[in-house]
Structure 1
Amino acid sequence: MPLAQIYIGPGRSHDEKRALIEKVTQAITDALGPLKQPVWVIVNEVPLEDWGVGGKPIRPPAG
């Protein structure tokens, strides 16, 4: 079973996440062709203070 795990910052609506899941599923199906098992997509919302780039946090913790 193909599994895509996507990390995004918070604040996206249910409809935006649903559209993301649909498009990722379609992209995997387009790339791999017909599949015997369904595509799984996991969307992980991570607070921006838990992200870092280049050894530095994107946003310092609140407070």
Structure 2
Amino acid sequence: MMKCADHLSKSDIQKFKQLRRGSKQSKSESKPKRKEDISHRDWEYIMGMNRDTYKRVGGSVRRK
């Protein structure tokens, strides 16, 4: 199985590598990474730990 690099000349490969380096740098400059602090209460809400539980008692459904 032949790779794309086998079909390209050395100058074309160098141009391609320059384009790849430039795209990585522009991505990091355009979007600064933000770290969001999520509290313990928010994590419990996201995971659904504070939901009501329901149980059938005598034919009716009761909420705990």
* Structure with the greater alpha carbon radius of gyration: 2
Alignment TM-score, normalising by the size of structure 1: 0.38
- Greater strand percent: which structure? 1
TM-score, with normalisation over the residues of structure 2?
0.37
